[in-house]
């Protein structure tokens, strides 16, 4: 029964022209990407930088750039998991 339902969903996905997948942070946290809102999330350990502070403070810009560089290094290391590959397939 479940296999039939999966095949039916697969058929619908193949026939569709516009598909939106709504996922949560859980689709990528197992890859090593940080989530932002959990108890150990990014914003619990990194205070958000307000845009006005970014514009007015060299130190805020350096902190923002440092965070972005660190996150980019993480992003370059990861490989998509099955959930991400599945959403890309359709």
Q: Which domain holds residue 9?
A: 2-89
Which of these, 24, 5, 34, lies nearest to 84 by C-alpha position? 24
Confidence (pTM): 0.60
pLDDT digits (tens, 9 = 90+) for 10-32: 888 888 888 888 887 778 888 88
pLDDT attached to residue 20 = 84
57 or 9: which leads in pLDDT: 57
CA distance 15 to 69: 40
Long-range CB contacts for residues 70-73, cutoff 8 Å, separation at least 24: 71/34
pLDDT attached to residue 73 = 92
CA distance 28 to 35: 8
Q: How many residues does the chain have?
A: 90
- Give the count of domains, the chain: 1
C-alpha distances in angstroms, 33 versus 6, 15, 25? 29, 32, 9
């Amino acid at each position: 029964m479940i296999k039939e339902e999966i095949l039916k969903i697969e058929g619908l996905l193949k026939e569709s022209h516009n598909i939106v997948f709504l996922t949560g942070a859980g689709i990528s946290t197992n890859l090593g990407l940080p989530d932002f809102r959990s108890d150990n999330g990014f914003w619990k350990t990194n205070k958000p930088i307000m845009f006005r502070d970014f514009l007015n403070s060299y130190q805020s810009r350096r902190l923002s750039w440092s965070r972005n560089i660190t996150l980019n290094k993480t992003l370059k290391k990861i490989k998509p998991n099955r959930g991400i590959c599945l959403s890309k397939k359709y």
